[in-house]
Structure 1
Amino acid sequence: MTLSRVAPKLLAAFALLTLSGCVTYPDITQARSPCRMEPGGWCGFVRDLATDSYGYAMLASNAYQDEDTYTELGPRFAEVGIIPPEEGENRDGLAYSLFDEFELVERGGTFARGARKARVLAFRGTEYSSPTDIIRGSIRADQIAVARRVYAAESARLAADYPGLQLIVAGHSLGGALATQISIENPDIPAYTFNVSPFYRGDSTVNDGKRVAINERGEFLRFLRRYRSPPAADMLVVNCAPDRNAGKKHGIRPLADCLTWIAAYESRAALALVEPNGIAKPPVECGEAGKPHPGPGTTSDVPCIHRPRAPEQDAD
């Protein structure tokens, strides 16, 4: 089932949620505040949030376990086996991946794995080819209940294996909504969400200081998010690909690629992942399509002017 066919159904279902009021998301889009003399034309706050979040965006992409999986995560992350479903357990289409996060130790320009610092539970987003996944994840609360069970089981295992180790949740689209839900209900749990779906329950101001939400400007869920309060205190709307349509903008791999590219202006660890994963310059950034990344510390006397979107795509 294509995204264009699913979107109207989600819009109709979302009418049930609009009774709670209408709050428009903050908009700090790069398109409206260009920093032409800064690295890549990206403002400092954009580079900072990209540096903080790019790794979790990569994990949110890998939670789909599809052709967009990042094959090189570097020494910072290592995948961990999940607790399998018990016999007869129905997870209502919910899927997730687990990763341990490690400190990075830089030695002679390369990075080695240091101490274990956190475990990341990355929820998979909606599989649009599955009507069951759409209904149980986006319209009903079935997957929220499963996410709570998964979180309880995995956090208990983590506490037994590594007492005191931080658990972080992440996700894209519906996976971001599930991560938001877990973070709302568990004040000690940070969350990183990308093109987040608004199909979470509860007061999104609870624990919002521990959540980061990054969305691509113009992606299709923006229509639905307008009727919910912001899911995070730290939010960024980034304009990576102005000329893509709303469905293509929604994907996690292009957004994660863009964040990693931006982070590489600040982080040598991010730069080390650009070439091995075939990450290209975001379409909006100045320069030819195949330009190599110049790396951290880049300065230039020539302004980097981001390419504008087409006039017909100018609406939020």
Structure 2
Amino acid sequence: MKYILFLGLGFLLSSCAIMDYTKEELTGCDHHSKWCDQIRATATETYLYAQMSANTYNDAYQFKLPTNYELVTKKDNDDIGFAYSIYENTRNDLTIIVFRGTEGANFKDWWYGNLWGSQNDRGLELFDTIRQEKGSDETIIVTGHSLGGGIALEISLKRENVEAYVFNTSPRFSANGYSIENKRVSVVEHGEILKALRAPSREASQTYTSIGCSSGGPVAQHEQAKLAECLTQIAATESNEARRSLAQNNIEYIYE
């Protein structure tokens, strides 16, 4: 039996260090997959964003996405290591900005991203440019893994009408006095390396799901491709589209 903690974190944008935790009662854990209702629903909602977040790295393996998601921009590391991709859903004109996280020993990511937070500023500038192009009424989704998730969270804290989906996210973000409510969904591997760093940090209001997807040490469990594949497998217990995604990527469905 896999046991997963599903939490809704309180809104924590002030200087107060005390966090309110509300634990949601898990239901449907007798499902044949052993994943509870809430985890299956979260996986169905997030698996494509998890795949996009994995794809924004220059890894040899890239998830094949549904044909209605068009990759319109993929920018590699700039002078401070900031990198991102932009997708558009051709069915509904939805725009998704995907931020790349820290790449191993990349000095620029550690110096400009994790230490000084300069990549967060670049992310805000990019978002503002796209917002001007798309107009104020269109919802934009931001997503990312690790440092990329931190960039996405900061945008969702400082800008209106944006949804954030983040994975194994870095605590490197700041609200700086803003108190904007947006939808934020965070999925983390329960044993991954950044979880210990997030524990003493102030959190944004979000739906936070800690999930037991993979084995290995803290570094191995931080890997985004593993989390994306696991979420797709779980989503496939509920979603025919997720089942097709597994087939499209030649991944065997494990919950028959």
* Counterpart pick for 1:50 among 43, 47, 55: 43
CA shift at 1:94, angstroms?
0.3
Task: Give 5+ residue unaligned stretches, structure 2.
Answer: 1-14
Instruction: Give percent identity, aligned residues only.
Output: 28
Kindly report which structure 2 residues correspond to 1:148-163, keeping only aligned pairs within 5 A, or say none.
148-159=124-135
- SS of equivalent residue, structure 1 residue 100: strand
1:82 is displaced (CA, Å) by 5.5
Does the 8 A contact of 1:23 with 1:226 survive in 2? no
What's 1:132 paired with? 108
1:167-182 aligned at under 5 Å gives the runs 167-182=140-155
Alignment of 1:300-311 (within 5 A): none
Q: Considering only aligned residues, what root-mean-square deviation do their CA atoms show, in Å?
A: 2.8
Q: 1:206 to 1:213 in 2, by over 3 A?
A: farther
Provide closer, same or farther for how the CA distance between residues 82 and 218 of structure 1 changes in structure 2, counting only shifts above 3 A. Answer: closer
Q: Is the 8 A contact 2:161 2:182 kept in 1?
A: no
Tell me, yes or no, if structure 1 residue 62 matches structure 2 residue 55. Answer: yes
Residue 144 (str. 1) matches residue 144 (str. 2): no
Distance 1:83-1:46 versus aligned 2 partners, 3 A rule: closer
| 1:221 corresponding residue in structure 2 | 194
Is residue 183–residue 206 contact of structure 2 (8 Å, CA) maintained in 1? yes
Aligned match for 1:79, one of 65, 71, 75: 71
Contact 1:125 1:174 in 2 (8 A): yes
Secondary structure of 1:40's counterpart equals coil
Does structure 1 residue 40 correspond to structure 2 residue 13? Answer: no
Higher helix share: 1
Is contact 1:58–1:256 with CA below 8 Å preserved after alignment? Answer: yes
Could you say which residue in structure 1 is the equivalent of 2:216?
244
2:83 maps to amino acid: A
- Is the partner of 1:215 in helix, strand or coil? strand
Question: Structure 1 residues 20, 131: closer, same or farther in 2, change over 3 A?
Answer: farther
- C-alpha distance in structure 1 between counterparts of 2:59 and 2:150, whole Å: 20
How far is 1:125 from its partner? 0.4
Question: Which letter maps to 2:98?
Answer: A
Q: Give deviations 1:232-276, integer Å, cap 9, x for gaps.
A: 4211101112x3110010011111111111111111001101122
CA distance, structure 1, for counterparts of residue 160 and residue 107 of structure 2: 32
Decide whether the 8 Å contact of 1:211 with 1:233 is kept in 2: yes
Paired residue type of 1:40: S
Shift of 1:141: 1.9
TM (norm. structure 1) is 0.69
| Alignment partner, residue 12 of structure 2 | none
The amino acid of 2:228's aligned partner reads A
Q: Which amino acid aligns with 2:232?
A: T
Tell me which amino acid in the other structure corresponds to 1:190: E
1:20 CA drift (Å): 6.6
C-alpha distance in 1, partners of 2:236/2:87? 22
SS of corresponding position for 1:275: helix
Name the counterpart of 1:259. 231
How many residues get paired?
Answer: 242
Deviation at 1:279, TM superposition (A): 3.3
TM-score by length of 2: 0.84
Q: Which runs of 5+ in 1 are unaligned?
A: 1-18, 103-114, 282-290, 295-316
Q: 1:180 to 1:91 in 2, by over 3 A?
A: farther
Separation (CA, whole Å) in 2 of partners of 1:274 and 1:225 = 31
Determine helix, strand or coil for the equivalent of 2:58.
coil
Distance 1:220 1:253, change over 3 A: same
Residue 97 of structure 2 corresponds to 121
1:21 to 17, 22, 26: 17
For 2:17 and 2:137, the matched residues in 1 are separated by: 39
TM-superposed deviation, 1:24 = 8.5
